[in-house]
Structure 1
Amino acid sequence: MRDAPTNDFEPTMTDDEALMWRIGADPWLDPSGSLLAVLDRPVDLDLLRRKVAAGIPSMPRLVERVADTDRPLEGLRWEIDPDFDLTKHVVEVAVPAPGDRRALLDLTTEIHMTPFPAGRPPWRIVLVTGLADGTGALIARLHHSAADGIGGLRMAEVFLTLEPDTAPPPDTDLDATLSEWRASATDHNLPDGAAAIWSALAGPVGLAKSTAAELALIGADPARAQHTAGHALDTARTVIDQLTGDPYLDSTSELWTRRSGGRYFVTAQMPLSGAKVAAKARGGTINDLYVTALADAAIACHAERGTESRSVAMSFVRSTRTDSGAGGNAFVPIKVRAPGAGVTPDERFAALSNAMAPSDASDGEPGLGAISALAALIPTPLLIRLGRDQGARIDVVTSNIRGAPVPIFVSDAHVLGSFPIGPVAGAACNATMMSREDSLDIGIMVDPAAIDDPDRFGNIVQATLDAYTTEAG
């Protein structure tokens, strides 16, 4: 059952959202995420639009766009799109000939790389028709400023169901809902000009309040001054390390050195049950196994080309989300170094498992919010340059999203594969995994300038996963 309509509209763009929007100005760093859902049959476009329309009243973010502003003091903010048109966001496209799997993956890449139209909410859903085998597909794309992977999955509930459903939903008076939201947003706005001043002062005022409180505590406990100064310095150093990187964790690849704005999409799959057995046998988690398999594949790819990989520079995302809501960003990116040639896969697994395990020390690491707050002080061109530089130091970006353990449907079409796409962000590739029923579906977006035979790399990843599955029995 869908949630009741809400007017929970928050115009202020958080530092995290603003960071994602700013770096999105560079196609190389585009933080948008996508999902390719492979279906057992085609889906009716009109029915899908009606289902999405019925879900929008509980998902205000779907009608919010980034507001244009020429006020120097005003930060980025969200606003209800005054000309929102669902037919421009939920569309149908025919797959190019010959309509096979490769054509579908290439179409997915094209849609993933197509910029969002200016002045509209940054998302789209594309139904794919004309597949040669008679199946269907859906490609959903969402800008990272609107939601991270987990939040995006919650937003996908507007078209995903747990049962096949071809019954049209009740008619939704979307215009009335949007009018109500616009009125609510206007009623709660500050007078013209005051909002810009408040936005500019809110950060410093909050900082001043927290500083005053800390000074009061220092007055009561002089020893606190040394602790506070040390903690602040440690936090600043850690945030700067997140932005500038630890040289020890940088890529040592002599093969994957080039970078471009080009993209090439491949996929892989592994049975969830097999992954559980293989991971448990090694005393780790499914994520440990997944990241290790990607490192194994990168090393094997180098070996095939006669190059020894001393290490694999990787990153993974640790979610800090504490709610089940849609929209927003709550995660911290963490870099790790996978041992290269010269160690066994089990030794590599143990090293990565230890490096990725949460610890008391990592609990104190600043999350995306602290990084975004510092990044807000950096001019956008410099921020993009810094982002490109840091991305080029990473071989494989990884993330994973927990999906539904039961069958899921789009209308009456059973989802046979749900392959997520994360931002490459200047790295050699991004691999994002989503669980579905008894499957781990992995979408791998490759920079073909870095990995010049992406199909072969995808095959090596699949062979590596198959080997772990065979071992698990």
Structure 2
Amino acid sequence: MDRLSGLDASFLYLETPAQLMHVCGVLVLDATTMPGGYSFANLQSGIEKRVRDVPAFTRRLRRVPLGLDHPVWVQDKNFDIERHVHRLALPTPGGYDELTDLAAHLAGLPLDRSRPLWEMWVIEGYQGDKVAVMSKMHHATVDGVSGANLISHLCALSATDDPLVPATPQTQPREPGPGELLGRGVVSTATKPLQVARLLSPSAKLVTKTVGRARAGTAMAAPLTAPRTSFNGTITGRRSIGLADMSLDDVREIKKATGTTVNDVVLTVAGGALRSYLEDRGELPDDSLLATVPVSVRSSSKRSEGANKVSALFTKLGTDIEEPLERLRDMAVRNQHAKDHHNAVSADALQDWAEFAAPRTFGLAVRAYAGMRLAERHPVVHNLVISNVPGPPVPLYFVGAKIESLYPLGPVFHGAGLNITVLSNAGDLHVGVIACRDSMPDVDDLVNRFPAALAELRAAVAAEGLTSIG
């Protein structure tokens, strides 16, 4: 039996029919590299062979009686790969528009909680002979790093190599009875006041330090200070998806020339794309957009349990700054302040406080929040979520098929109906943008501005004589 951590369980409680808490990915594959050639049956059986002994793919949820504690993972004794890996074909002409429309539809469908919380849709007929795979996995099961580790069970360095992380047979855990689960829930509930007392002192010290940083001008950007945009309101369950590619070499050249980081450059490019998008729509606010940036704390966390080991920082994207190089320099300073501020916080602070998320109360509160459309009444917490995820530096093969592109897609939230994720892959940067279709139906108009914003920044760096590029 494996109890969900409070943070893992929170993603279950946050979920509503409109606010789905799974993470997605769109893989574009060259299936001609598969040994013996491509067939759906071969791909499906190859996936089954690689995941059958990986617990994250074969476990399902079991609720604690009366909702007294977070759910537990138990082995799915009826695991069937046919319930998780499905086959579709794109309508003619099978291009980008058809793929993103289908992916957006699939992203808007909830996962079945009676089974392991993942599925893949193998989509044939993309650009003629290519195959795309739309993957979905619940955030209760993975964060960015653990998701990459799970993908490693399916990928190899060549079409014929073994997976990067081979699966090993697992001992079937004992499944607890209702009485045991109820007893554990009672104990957990009874000890929570002691846990609260333990967290109050360090949390109070953190508030004091944050006030000091704010006065000194070295604090990260504060939530609830974001300007309102058209994608900051109550979301629906409909999704729109946009995909784009950029050169990782260009980003690295800018980083080297300016003494910044890859993350600084990526966030600056995102700020430029968003500024251009909003300006052309006549919606550019005077103040900068505020983004939530997830941060992995896996290397510094003292907790061994839980799939999600993440924290978050807030940063302004410089959408109020027209000149791209000035925006980059401002971003570098802001990011350093945000990192220093974030590092002063316990790596496990978010996980510790998430333990107190009560299953029933939390779920009811989220539904009331959505039903009363409160996201449109209080100050905007943040405008969007944006992630920059390091991926494989060399080409990988997914069950023998070469991965040409891998576009990550995160969840969207009431009040922040836009998520941007950038992932590096074998010298490229793949940009995945997902939004609530009813607040941003023209997501392609945004994602197509990323390469242009990078080119604009690159030209500005060259014009300053900081590098020979241009």
Paired residue type of 1:61: A
| Count of paired positions | 431
One-letter code of the match for 2:352?
A
Is the contact made by 1:45 and 1:92 (CA closer than 8 Å) also made in structure 2? yes
**What is the rounded CA distance, in whole Å, between the counterparts of 1:136 and 1:30 in structure 2?**
26
5+ long unaligned stretches in structure 1: 1-9, 215-227, 240-244
Q: Distance in 1 between matches of 2:318 and 2:401?
A: 43
Q: Does 1:22 pair with 2:13?
A: yes
Q: 5+ unaligned residues in a row in structure 2: which ranges?
A: 33-37, 211-219, 463-468
Matched, 1:260 2:235: yes
CA separation of 1:386 and 1:233: change in aligned 2, threshold 3 A: farther
Report the 3-state secondary structure (helix = DSSP H, G, I; strand = E; otherwise coil) of the residue aligned with 1:382.
helix
Q: Which residue in 2 is equivalent to 1:365?
A: 345
TM-score, normalisation: structure 1:
0.81
Relative to the length of structure 2, the TM-score reads 0.81
Residue 416 (structure 1) aligned to one of 404, 422, 433: 404
1:332 aligns with 2:319: no
Alpha-carbon distance in 1 for matches of 2:272, 2:341 = 28
Question: What displacement does 1:207 show?
Answer: 6.4
Write the distance in 2 (CA, Å) between the matches of 1:295 and 1:68. Answer: 42
Offset at 1:60? Answer: 0.7
Which residue is 1:84 aligned to?
79
Spell out, residue by residue over 1:12-33, the C-alpha distance to the aligned partner (whole angstroms, 9 max, x if none): 1110111011112x13322211
Q: How far apart in 2 are the matches of 1:140 and 1:254?
A: 30
1:382 pairs, out of 349, 353, 365, with 365
Q: Which residue of 2 aligns with 1:443?
A: 432
Give 1:330 shift: 0.8
Deviations 1:41-71 (A, max 9, x none): 3643222233333323552111111114543
Within-5 A mapping of 1:229-240: 231-235=202-206
Give the drift of 1:116: 1.2
Whole-angstrom distance in 2 between the partners of 1:167 and 1:231: 47
Cα offset, 1:238, TM superposition: 10
Name the aligned partner's letter for residue 186 of structure 2: A
Deviates more, 1:155-164 or 1:432-441: 155-164
Find the counterpart in structure 2 of residue 400 from structure 1.
Answer: 388
Query: Which structure has greater helix proportion?
Result: 1
Superposition pairs for residues 141-220 of structure 1, below 5 Å?
Answer: 141-165=136-160, 180-181=171-172, 184-186=173-175, 189=176, 192-202=178-188, 204-205=190-191, 208=194
SS in 1 for 2:115: coil
Aligned equivalents of 2:450, 2:6: Cα separation in 1: 36
CA 1:234–1:383 in structure 2 vs 1: closer, same or farther (change >3 Å)? farther
Q: Which amino acid aligns with 1:380?
A: G
Following superposition, the deviation at residue 147 of structure 1 comes to: 0.8
| Gap change, CA 1:98 and 1:355, over 3 Å in 2 | same
8 A contact 2:60–2:115 mirrored in 1: yes
* C-alpha distance in 2 between matches for 1:64 and 1:401: 26
Deviating more after overlay: 149-158 vs 68-77 = 68-77
Q: Report deviation, 1:298.
A: 1.2
Question: How far apart in 1 are the matches of 2:70 and 2:366?
Answer: 17
Superposition RMSD on alpha carbons, in Å? 3.4
Identity %: 20
Q: Over residues 166-197 of structure 1, what are the superposed CA-to-partner deviations in whole Å (9 max), with x where a residue is unaligned? A: 999xxx9x9xx68x51xx324xx4x6513322
Tell me how far apart the structure 1 counterparts of residues 181 and 443 of structure 2 sit (CA, whole Å).
49
Distance in 1 (CA, whole Å) between partners of 2:330 and 2:153 is 40
Partner of 2:2: 11
Q: How far did residue 122 of structure 1 move? A: 0.7
| Aligned-pair CA distance for 1:459 | 2.0
Q: Give the secondary-structure state (helix, strand or coil) at the position aligned to 2:48.
A: helix
Secondary structure of 2:325's counterpart equals helix
Change (3 A) 1:384 1:296: farther
Aligned 8 A contact 1:399 1:432 in 2? yes
Aligned 8 A contact 2:65 2:182 in 1: no
**Letter matched to residue 46 of structure 2:** K
CA deviations over 1:137-157 (Å, ceiling 9, x no partner): 111110000111211111112
Distance 1:345-1:47 versus aligned 2 partners, 3 A rule: same
Whole-Å Cα distance in 1 between the matches of residues 454 and 150 of structure 2?
30
Distance, in Å, in 1 between the alignment partners of 2:64 and 2:300 is 31
- Distance between the aligned counterparts of 1:374 and 1:236, measured in 2? 20
Question: Counterpart of 1:315?
Answer: 292
